[in-house]
Structure 1
Amino acid sequence: MKKRLTLLQMDVHVNDVEYNYNRVQELLTQSLTENPDIIVLPETWNTGFHPSDDLITIADRNGGERTKSLLTAFAKEHNVNIIGGSVAVAKDDLVFNTSYAYNREGALVGEYSKMHGFSPAKEDKYFASGTHTTHFELDGIPCSTVICYDIRFPELVRMAALPGTELLFVPAQWPTMRLRHWQVLNEVRAIENQLFLCAVNGCGTIGRVQSTGHSAVYDPWGGTNLLEMDTNEGIASVDIDLTVVEDIRNKINIFRDRKPELYNL
């Protein structure tokens, strides 16, 4: 099975919610010229990565109502799957960093809230933590999502991979100062879990911090990444062949050979 992934690497404007929603709509529309099967957005594209006291005042209210309305309508109208990156979502007095996945009919098929807040930036103080992984299908492909800092936790990614996941999405706002970590961690997670990994990062600046871009798609064999963008805002696509997953799992079956009864984690 072959599918086309279309990555939207966006220069997210911190605190400028109206600009960000308008820009996402523009990028989504532009991406249709790529004939995508699955469109993927970056992390916290509605507010920017903004752990601060005023976050709850600019987060998407009513459990993500505005974001859900936009994504479901676009997916249904254009018969395309969407991984909505993630957005800051207010629920009661808490804010979650939440990703939504929509199928071609515009149905919400996956929802995941980031489990690991990036404590050096005090994300864990301003965002509530999610409590479970997500598993869903897009065009029959078993998928899952983790978000940015989550990729540093192999236990979580393995939990996301265990139910037969073949395609993992990683929306992020990852800084230039740790570009090499971004590249290595994503590639290793793809290799060790024998799946395709689609990592979509932001670009531009967040205060004095530069988001590194370099959105990329990695295959399960880890030879060369199938796609890697530069540091600029833009749209890029790549075709993946999901039969590769079955091939590697037949040749090196780590899921059969693992011994969780021996792991004391």
Structure 2
Amino acid sequence: MSAALSAAAQHIGATVHGSSIVERAAQGDRGPANTTVLIGADGALLRSHRKIHRFGFGEGEPKLLDAGEEIVTAEVRDTNTTGTAVLGLATCYDLRFPEMFRRLLDAGSEIFLVPAAWPAPRVEHWRLLGRARAVENQCFSVQCNTAGTHSRTEMGGHSRNVDPTGMVLAEGGSKEECLIADLHLDELVAYRRNFSVLADRRIH
């Protein structure tokens, strides 16, 4: 799959993010992991993130996959300016753990990328938590969720892009579709400066 994503990135000349690749570790290393990859426009791997929080309450993912341990960010070119944007990588169930997103913020994140396979019965949690992570960290949140069915489970869809104020810039429905939204980092910088709640943090 990573080879296909690499070819796609080169074809469109853009950074591509792909998720939920089962990464088989090198011999003698860790076990398999639920891994996301970030690939540059030249097709080269920029960063990879192993999902830290495994869903299943001791079953499912915890039995099948190793947990990631590293907070992962990546600096990429901002297509709206001559500057760069810092992406913070997370996966699905990670969204429920605000302390992880605080650490991504402290590592410089401006945009959270959150791919997921979030089921329909809990889709309102998906929508609420995505907005919460954006607002509390004054970051953009780009959430991409599976639509249709997965292993006979109805998925929630509702992929969305949220700005640092909690405004939803674009949102999909329960079916497969493509979303487009412009994320203006100059607006993020101005918002953090004019509403500087992050400077008032007392617990680190």
Question: Which deviates more, 228-237 or 192-201?
Answer: 228-237
Query: Per-residue deviation at 1:205?
Result: 1.4
> TM-score normalized by structure 1?
0.69
Correspondence for 2:145 among 201, 204, 207: 201
Secondary structure of the corresponding residue to residue 226 of structure 1: strand
TM-score, normalised to structure 2's length?
Answer: 0.89
Which residue number in structure 1 is paired with residue 72 of structure 2?
134
Q: Which SS does the other structure have where 2:24 is aligned?
A: strand
| Counterpart-to-counterpart distance in 2, 1:129 and 1:165 | 21
SS of structure 1 residue aligned to 2:32: strand
- 1:242 shift after superposition: 1.5
Letter of the 1:95 partner, please give it: P
Q: Distance in 1 between matches of 2:85 and 2:129?
A: 23
Is 2:57 the counterpart of 1:115? no
Secondary structure of the residue that 1:174 maps to in structure 2?
A: coil
Deviation at 1:131, TM superposition (A): 0.8
Task: Provide the rounded CA distance (Å) in 1 between the counterparts of 2:196 and 2:45.
Answer: 32
Matched residue, 1:76 = 10
AA aligned to 1:112 is H
> 1:179, 1:72 → 2: CA distance?
31
Instruction: Specify which structure has the higher proportion of helix.
Output: 1
CA distances 1:199-224 after superposition (whole Å, capped 9, x unpaired): 000011123421110000000011x3
Pair 206,68 (structure 1): closer, same or farther in 2 beyond 3 Å: closer
Unaligned runs of 5+ in 2: 78-83
Q: Which segments of structure 1 move beyond 4 Å, counting only runs of 4 or more?
A: none
Comparing 180-189 with 67-76, greater Cα deviation is found at 67-76
Pair 1:255 & 2:198 matched: yes
Matches within 5 A, 1:24-103: 67-91=1-25, 92=27, 94-103=31-40
CA contact (8 A) 1:220 1:244 kept: no
Match for 2:69: what amino acid? T
Cα distance, 1:128 vs structure 2? 0.7
Q: Does 1:157 align with 2:101?
A: yes
Q: Note the C-alpha offset of 1:174.
A: 0.3
What secondary structure, in the 3-state scheme, does the structure 1 residue paired with 2:136 have?
Answer: helix
Amino acid at match of 2:91: I
Give the equivalent residue in structure 1 for 2:81. Answer: none
Decide which of 66, 83, 88 is 1:144's aligned counterpart. Answer: 88
Q: Give 1:256 shift.
A: 2.3
The secondary structure found in structure 2 opposite 1:235 is coil
Residue of 107, 114, 120 corresponding to 1:170: 114
Deviation at 1:253? 2.1
| 8 A Cα contact 1:226 1:238, kept in partner | yes
Contact 1:212/1:231 (8 A) holds in 2? yes
Matched, 1:210 2:154: yes
Partner secondary structure for residue 158 of structure 2: coil
Aligned-partner SS, 1:86:
strand
